[in-house]
Amino acid sequence: MRLFIPFFLLFCVSNCWAQTSTTRIIIKRSAKDSARIMSLTKTSHSCQYMTKNEKETLQWLNIARMYPKWFIYFNKLTPSADSFKNGLYNKLKTMRPMKEKLLPDSVLWSSALCHAIYTGKTGFIGHERKGSNCPKKYSSECIHYGISSPQSIILALLIDQDVSSLGHRKICLNPRQKRVGISTKNHRSKYLKTTVLDFK
């Protein structure tokens, strides 16, 4: 079964990001500082091809990459007997914060959109693009299944429960990844939703 899905070759420039300083912030755990972290990582409304949830998913990914200790704080992460949750806690606690935001990219978004639509209509689960007209525009890909908030999507990918390679965590926290396209669509399966993240 081949589905033809048109691509929207939109190009996101720097104004997709709110023009805010990326100066490091001393963590004071105050409401004012929490609000500033959210402001610094917010995706601008000028990225009109992205939905509100897709923008928020990217925002939470950037919080984890740029302000890992704040991600711990926001998600109430603590040392855990679960090796995957504990591994994430230790990783975020010790990792070097990234200075630059992971930027939204319209070509990668189109790639993610195509796969999300195709797999959603067919009920397919996985990365394989055989049988679709979705070209591989990305270098790495993560897929989340299920109805979840943007915050929960990123947390689940970073915990990477029962994935021995920790592939999703490694991709999301890889400083060599500079751009990403994120698309969330309905999925014809028990999961009901799928979110595709294509990186480059």
Q: Is the dihedral of CA 69, 76, 145, 106 positive or negative?
A: negative
In the chain, the N- to C-terminal Cα span, in Å, equals 28
Structure tokens at 17: 């990001």
pLDDT tens for the chain, 200 residues long, are: 444 344 333 334 334 654 344 444 444 567 889 999 999 999 876 789 999 999 999 999 999 999 999 999 999 999 999 999 999 999 999 999 999 999 999 999 999 999 999 999 999 999 999 888 998 889 999 999 999 999 999 999 999 999 999 999 999 999 999 999 999 999 999 999 999 999 99
Q: How far apart are CA 82 and CA 65, in angstroms?
A: 22
Q: How large is the C-alpha radius of gyration of the chain?
A: 17
Q: Could you tell me if 36 and 28 are in contact, meaning their C-beta atoms sit under 8 angstroms apart?
A: no
Q: What is the pLDDT of residue 18?
A: 46
Q: Could you tell me if 65 and 141 are in contact, meaning their C-beta atoms sit under 8 angstroms apart?
A: no
> What does the mean pLDDT of the chain come to?
88
Distance of CA 52 to the CA centre of its chain: 13
Residue entry with tokens 């679960």: 82
Q: How far apart are CA 67 and CA 79, in angstroms?
A: 18
Q: How many CA atoms are closer than 13 Å to the CA of 116, on its beta-carbon side?
A: 27
Reported as a single tens digit per residue, the pLDDT across 96-154 is: 999 999 999 999 999 999 999 999 999 999 999 988 899 888 999 999 999 999 999 99
Q: How far apart are CA 103 and CA 153, in angstroms?
A: 18
Q: How far apart are CA 112 and CA 82, in angstroms?
A: 31
What's the predicted TM-score (pTM) here? 0.86
- In degrees and rounded to multiples of 5, residue 193 shows phi and psi of -135, 150
CA angle 109, 58, 53 (to 5 degrees): 80
